[in-house]
Amino acid sequence: MAAARSPASRRILSALAVLSPLLVFNKFVYSVGVVEGRSMQPALNPDTSGTRRDVVLLARYAPVISDMGGPIAHGDVVFLTAPHDPSMTLVKRVIALEGDAVRPRRGAGEGIGSWVREVGPHDGYVRIPRGQCWVESDEPYRGVDSNVFGPLPLGLIDCKVAAVLWPLDRAGQVPRRMPKPGRVVYEGRILLEVDEP
């Protein structure tokens, strides 16, 4: 015969039955994040005083399940782990994916990374290796991005920004923005000196 459960254990089991799906949803489907800093202005945190921070909806399934919202694509804004400090989260825009070629901004590679010696640039461009991407700040003079680190593994991407939730006057999708024409050449449209014919 089953033992009768106490009211306290029934409350605990009820709470677990409600909280478990919510925690799974928050960890693997959608969650909410706050954007810090000014590196993504004007798309995110456009208030130059820095007193208002954008609250965003994060699509956590996007990096791993391509048929539920699509894979990471050119122009997506993503939250990713900083390659130089795993405790730090960066918010950047994906401008190139594997196979693409990027012309780095002036002064690229002068910071933390030594990627210039490792992968390029060749003919003024860097070919993005398989399984990697190139991310940049929308505001070119703020924050660190692939111009410092070079191409980054897609595995560092945690989630992509689905929409701005707050402030309400700017609620909605984050506008797609790409660099000036000629900075990114998409897969297969350029042959670099290091490419095999």
Query: CA 115 to CA 149: how far, in whole Å?
Result: 6
| Catalytic, out of 9, 14, 39, 146 | 39
Q: Which residue spans within the chain are E strands per DSSP?
A: 30-34, 55-59, 77-82, 85-97, 101-102, 126-127, 132-136, 152-153, 157-166, 184-185
User: Is position 180 annotated as part of the catalytic site?
Assistant: no
DSSP class of residue 172 equals: B
| Catalytic, out of 66, 92, 114, 137 | 92
User: Is position 92 annotated as part of the catalytic site?
Assistant: yes
Query: CA 80 to CA 92: how far, in whole Å?
Result: 8
Measured CA angle at 70 (ends 69, 76), to 5 deg: 100
The token pair that represents 192 in the structure block:
């670099």
**β 184-185/55-59 pair status:** unpaired
What residues are annotated to the active site? 39, 92
